[in-house]
Structure 1
């Protein structure tokens, strides 16, 4: 990582995001670009996150990523439409949101498998209608999760077509950030986005994933320890399908040139092949 200059004091704008609003002793590695706090449009309440007014600055995002464990803030890249929604217009909600710690990730995925997947159109062989017995083993080979996230984020921010991505700062970990910002787009899949974060916590531990970008109804993860063989990938594919079981399980909305196609195809085994050594996972809820 680069050598950074002395850290800046924590801006007053970020204090309300912390428990009790106390930013004593907190610092940032760089001055923030212009931005503001975002509060849910569902009535008065505590702010959800900080959002830049303009496109994310790559070097600022990179510094915040490197220092997130010290600062307590996770830097997200947030896509929005031409009118600034959903983030700038406060289209976030905390109604019914619990804590990610309240949920067992395997139990969550198993429930979703039987609720959404069994009757779906995807050929789930070799598992059929049954949730796969046993978890996929944690891969032995992995790169640094921070480097994997930095590499992916840099690819996004240097793409001329993605200049609309803004910087969001959330007082949470990578996995918990989707719950901390009150993300609504998964409401048709689960009314409690903390269940999404619970699964992401597990994937962080097992596969070194990080939440890099959220764009409309899409979630973009870097992966530092992807499955390395077909058997591992099959079990991961089953988890992905339970996590994001779209009706046709097809999409071409990945951020980088439509090259990343998790949640595509109608045969689980074929999808699993795309996951072997794949450093990016992409999910889209319509």
Structure 2
């Protein structure tokens, strides 16, 4: 049987065209980061992502995130360093070969399993305090939230606007522009081999499966990644507390530190960080 031809990595064009003119871009100075792994005469290096040399400012995603770029198989996002890990994407923190395919996972079984991990266990002394944390839900998985309301802004416009807000507001004080080969934005963490949730889940494809569902249900888009944090824009967030509660339960299942070390309860989190919020941020301790 004839061997299938190797699919060309869409980043390969930047080796000979560093400004991305053939993709309709005018990229700032930057460079390719190779996929980690052993190298030798029998195996060519393969680019994993492209990252700008310097920080970018407001307007960066608007300038470089386009349908043409997505059609070429690339997604533009921001990468944010932190103290001591200013360039974590260059420090062998990315492990793409460890990840499965997001398409092999379904959102509801994933969230149900995550929920089972994080709900307080009464046998470990959680008691009434644990019940209050997850109220109005019980210890059984409450199911997926309904999709967001119609009539919101264009999701890509919302993503670019949020990026500017996060940069100007200092939440992303010096982000780099990154281009990642991925069919959709939700798959970027997996395609990169991002390990932000490692202390919670080693296979980031499970995270991407949830992000895909949020893209579809709420017009959410991945805007920025930090060493252990993720920022998403949301074009169609819940508008009522009743709708926000099951969404908050999904957030708790995916990123329990948002509540354990943040709002303190699903009810409080739904009011503070979900209802009408166009920015969903997640972090893993």
* TM score, norm. by length of structure 2: 0.81
How far did 1:57 drift? 4.9
Q: 2: distance between equivalents of 1:279 and 1:188?
A: 27
**Residue number among 262, 265, 285 corresponding to 2:263 in the alignment:** 265
SS in 1 for 2:96: coil
Say whether residues 1:276 and 2:275 are aligned partners: yes
**Alignment gaps of 5+ in structure 1:** 1-11, 18-25, 251-263
**Alignment gaps of 5+ in structure 2:** 1-8, 15-20, 40-44
Give 1:19-98 correspondences, 5 Å limit.
27-44=22-39, 46-67=46-67, 68-81=69-82, 84-98=86-100
Q: 1: distance between equivalents of 2:135 and 2:171?
A: 38
- Alpha-carbon contact 2:55-2:176 (below 8 Å) kept: yes
Q: 2: distance between equivalents of 1:54 and 1:201?
A: 30
Cα–Cα, structure 1 residues 41 and 69, in superposed 2: closer, same or farther, change >3 Å? closer
Say whether residues 1:207 and 2:218 are aligned partners: yes
- Alpha-carbon contact 1:16-1:47 (below 8 Å) kept: no
Q: Which moved more, 1:171-180 or 1:113-122?
A: 113-122
> How well do the aligned residues superpose, as a CA RMSD in angstroms?
2.8
How far did 1:87 drift? 0.9
SS in 2 for 1:175: helix
How far did 1:90 drift? 3.6
Q: Which has the larger helix fraction?
A: 2
* TM score, norm. by length of structure 1: 0.81
Aligned length: 257
How far did 1:94 drift? 1.9
Q: Which moved more, 1:57-66 or 1:90-99?
A: 57-66
How far did 1:242 drift? 0.2
Give 1:220-239 correspondences, 5 Å limit.
220-239=231-250
